[in-house]
């Protein structure tokens, strides 16, 4: 492994040598490594999963463009390094694509939120990203079409039911039923998008807590993992962030008693997020916001369940039922979110005048 990483690393335009590496384990798709060098600067080297991303070059171009846009505006973001040939990626002998960025020193990530302040800071990071990408007028390629489309994910799920094994179906039956019983109420966002009732903006599309970088004082620095930056609605980023930020357990926790929704974190996250969206939202956008935490949590459960039924072809898994456990966890969280839906509605509508576009 080390030899392979060295071979890739030396092709980038860096005037220092590779010392050692560490593997980051939290991503479900790509392989990411921290490279220590002989200088005080370390780097993040990433191999894009060509199985998931058929257009890795476009993906890398997207992330470099967005990161550069943010940096030019004086915002913090990732700094990508070109190769010695001036390209932003390396293609290896197996047609895998690699990219390199500077490691932001003294940064940290969290797998779970541990205080109201961190929840608030996470809101600041995601709100800031949305607010500062609205004026991006470069070209963004749609990397994974229909990524957060629930109707498309539902079609994929139904397709998996026709090809999965009987045994998998039996094991997952309760949760397959859960999907059919809930799909109707989860489709509202899709309808609004399809009818052009809400605007498209530039969204990150993977705002889970581990994709937010913090400094040593636990202040947010920026969003990382820009792989899925595409056009989308704010509900994607708001709801998906709340999915992990307000859950009291990791997304694959099997002890369901531990899976709860932390309403205080929700309030703090929202106040950080809303700070950047004052006077920027339409009334339809605000109206749909309270639905997004349950919808985005449901869509992740649906995708995990579909991948379980497909025999784990998409996400990395640590054991055969890992995706089923993830799905059960997410659907349990959906139920917990629904229990406080009224409180969520009230909290958001309290901010309505602040957010409404004038
Ligand atoms: C995947 O690879 P990673 O961990 O950044 C997935 C996200 C899911 C997430 C669930 C391209 O993200 O959509 O929310 O797992 N990314 C892709 O943890 O499918
Ligand atoms: Mg991601």
Domain CATH for 27: 3.30.200.20
**How confident is the model at residue 146, as a pLDDT?**
96
Distance 199 CA to ligand 1 centre (A): 24
Q: Looking at the structure, do residues 326 and 211 belong to the same domain, yes or no?
A: yes
**How confident is the model at residue 353, as a pLDDT?**
87
Q: To test ligand 1's pocket by mutation, which of 208, 313, 323 has the most ligand atoms within 8 angstroms of CB? A: 208
Is residue 70 in some structural domain? yes
Distance 262 CA to ligand 2 centre (A): 24
Of 191, 197, 291, give the one whose Cα is nearest residue 235: 291
Q: Which ligand is nearest to the CA of 240?
A: 1
Q: Indicate the pLDDT class of residue 118, thresholds 50, 70 and 90.
A: very high
Mean local confidence (pLDDT), 331-358: 94
Is residue 109 in some structural domain? no
Q: Which atom of ligand 1 is nearest to the CA of 304?
A: 10
Ligand 1 binding pocket, CB closer than 6 Å: 27-29, 52, 206, 208, 225, 227-228, 251, 300
Q: Looking at the structure, do residues 37 and 183 belong to the same domain, yes or no?
A: no
**How confident is the model at residue 240, as a pLDDT?**
98
Domain boundary among 83, 104, 125: 104
Count of Cβ atoms closer than 10 Å to residue 27 Cβ = 17
Does the pLDDT value for residue 266 go beyond 80? yes
pLDDT over 70, % of the chain: 100
Q: Which atom of ligand 1 is nearest to the CA of 251?
A: 18
Distance 295 CA to ligand 2 centre (A): 18
Q: Indicate the pLDDT class of residue 1, thresholds 50, 70 and 90.
A: confident
Domain boundary among 50, 69, 104: 104
Is residue 141 in some structural domain? yes
Is residue 111 in some structural domain? no
* Residues 64-106 pLDDT 10s: 999 999 999 999 999 999 999 999 999 998 889 999 999 999 9
Q: Give a three-class secondary structure readout of the chain.
A: CHHHHHHHHCCECCCCCEEEEEEECCCCCCEEEEEEECCCCCEEEEEECCCCCCCHHHHHHHHHHHHHHHHHCCCCCCCECCECCCCCCEECCCCCEEEEEECCCCCECCCCCCCHHHHHHHHHHHHHHHHHHCCCCCCCCCCCCCCCCHHHHHHHHHHHHHHCCHHHHHHHHHHHHHHHHHHHHHCHHHHHHHCCCCCCEEECCCCCHHHEEECCCCCEEEECCHHHCEEECHHHHHHHHHHHHCECCCCCCCCHHHCCECHHHHHHHHHHHHCCCCCCECHHHHHHHHHHHHHHHHHHHHHHHHHHHCCCCCCCCCCCCHHHHHHHHHHHHHHHHHHCHHHHHHHHHHCHHHHECC
Distance 67 CA to ligand 1 centre (A): 19
Q: Looking at the structure, do residues 125 and 181 belong to the same domain, yes or no?
A: yes
Q: Looking at the structure, do residues 52 and 124 belong to the same domain, yes or no?
A: no
**How confident is the model at residue 358, as a pLDDT?**
74
67: buried, middle or exposed (CB in 10 Å: 19+, 13-18, 0-12)?
Answer: buried
Output the CA–CA distances (angstroms, integers) from residue 147 to 122, 132, 257, 350, in the order listed. 22, 22, 30, 31
**How confident is the model at residue 25, as a pLDDT?**
82
Q: Looking at the structure, do residues 26 and 89 belong to the same domain, yes or no?
A: yes
Domain boundary among 45, 73, 104: 104
Mean local confidence (pLDDT), 177-202: 97
Q: Which atom of ligand 1 is nearest to the CA of 227?
A: 11
Q: Look over the chain and give the mean of its residue pLDDT values, rounded to a whole number.
A: 96
Distance 207 CA to ligand 2 centre (A): 8
Is residue 85 in some structural domain? yes
| Nearest-CA residue for atom 5 of ligand 1 | 27
Distance 107 CA to ligand 2 centre (A): 18
Report how many domains make up the chain: 2
Q: Looking at the structure, do residues 99 and 120 belong to the same domain, yes or no?
A: no
**CA 123 to CA 148: how far, in whole Å?**
20
Distance 354 CA to ligand 1 centre (A): 32
| Nearest-CA residue for atom 18 of ligand 1 | 28
Mean local confidence (pLDDT), 15-39: 94
**How confident is the model at residue 162, as a pLDDT?**
98
**How confident is the model at residue 92, as a pLDDT?**
92
Q: Which ligand is nearest to the CA of 236?
A: 1
Is residue 184 in some structural domain? yes
Q: Which atom of ligand 1 is nearest to the CA of 225?
A: 5
Is residue 66 in some structural domain? yes
Q: Looking at the structure, do residues 231 and 124 belong to the same domain, yes or no?
A: yes
Q: Which ligand is nearest to the CA of 144?
A: 1
Q: Looking at the structure, do residues 43 and 177 belong to the same domain, yes or no?
A: no
Is residue 307 in some structural domain? yes
Domain range for 62 is 2-104
**CA 239 to CA 68: how far, in whole Å?**
26
| Nearest-CA residue for atom 17 of ligand 1 | 29
């Amino acid at each position: 492994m080390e030899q392979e990483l060295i071979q890739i690393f030396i092709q980038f335009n860096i005037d220092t040598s590779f010392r050692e590496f560490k593997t980051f384990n939290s991503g479900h798709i790509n392989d990411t490594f921290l490279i220590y060098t002989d200088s005080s600067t370390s780097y993040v080297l990433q191999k894009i999963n060509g199985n998931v991303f058929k257009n890795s070059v476009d993906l890398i171009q997207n992330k470099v463009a967005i990161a550069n846009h943010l940096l030019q505006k004086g915002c913090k973001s990732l700094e990508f390094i070109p190769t010695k040939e001036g390209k932003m990626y390396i293609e290896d002998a197996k047609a895998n694509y690699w990219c390199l960025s500077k490691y932001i020193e003294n940064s940290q990530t969290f797998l779970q939120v541990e205080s109201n302040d961190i929840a608030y800071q996470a809101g600041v990071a995601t709100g800031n990203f949305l607010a500062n990408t609205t004026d991006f007028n470069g070209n963004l390629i749609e990397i994974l079409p229909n990524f957060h489309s629930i109707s498309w994910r539902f079609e994929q799920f139904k397709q998996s039911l026709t090809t999965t094994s009987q045994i998998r179906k039996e094991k997952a039956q309760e949760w397959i039923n859960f999907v059919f019983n809930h799909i109707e109420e989860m489709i509202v966002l899709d309808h609004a998008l399809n009818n052009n009732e809400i605007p498209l903006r530039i969204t990150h599309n993977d705002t889970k807590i581990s994709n937010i970088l913090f400094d040593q004082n636990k202040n947010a620095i920026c969003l990382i993992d820009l792989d899925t930056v595409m056009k989308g609605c704010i509900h994607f980023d708001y709801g998906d962030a709340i999915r992990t930020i307000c859950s009291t357990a990791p997304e694959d926790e099997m002890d369901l008693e531990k899976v709860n929704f932390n309403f205080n974190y929700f309030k703090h996250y929202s106040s950080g997020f809303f700070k950047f969206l004052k006077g920027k939202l339409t009334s339809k956008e605000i109206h749909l916001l309270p639905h997004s935490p349950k919808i985005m949590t449901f869509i992740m459960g649906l995708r995990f369940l579909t991948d379980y039924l497909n025999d784990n072809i998409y996400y990395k898994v640590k054991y055969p039922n890992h995706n089923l456990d993830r799905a059960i966890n997410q659907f349990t969280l959906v139920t917990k979110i629904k229990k406080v839906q009224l409180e969520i509605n009230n909290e958001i509508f309290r901010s309505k005048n602040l957010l409404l576009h004038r």
